[in-house]
Amino acid sequence: MKVAEIAKELDISPEELLQLALQDHLRNRLKELAAERKALLALLQVKNFKQLDRLLAQGKIREEEILSHYQRLDWIEHQIAKIRRWLKTA
């Protein structure tokens, strides 16, 4: 089925249907990223990214030991921030 056909069946415009689908997709992606962030933080035994940074600065954790996790967390944080901005304007 095409977007226009589905929109007609739902009695909304194709643009509104696409907008709703986009918002739903972004919300789902946000949940996926939040779950991955939570799992990584639990693996590293910290509550949040700031605590991890603090432990690194204090030398209690060695960066080379967690570098791939740190980079992934950093990327996740940026993705979450972008999606939240998009959802505010969507």
Q: What tokens were used for 42?
A: 């639990």
For the stretch 22-67, pLDDT in tens is 999 999 999 999 999 999 999 999 999 899 999 999 999 999 999 9
On the question of pLDDT at 90 being above 90, the answer is no
What pLDDT digit, counting tens, does each position of 57-86 carry?
A: 999 999 999 999 999 999 999 999 999 999
Q: What is the pLDDT of residues 9-21, one digit of tens each?
A: 999 999 999 999 9
Three-class secondary structure assignment of 4-44: HHHHHHHCCCHHHHHHHHHHHHHHHHHHHHHHHHHHHHHHC
Residue 83: the pLDDT is 98
Q: How many residues does the chain have?
A: 90
pTM confidence score:
0.85
Nearest Cα to 69, choosing from 83, 55, 58, 81?
A: 55
Cα gap 47→60, rounded to integer Å:
15
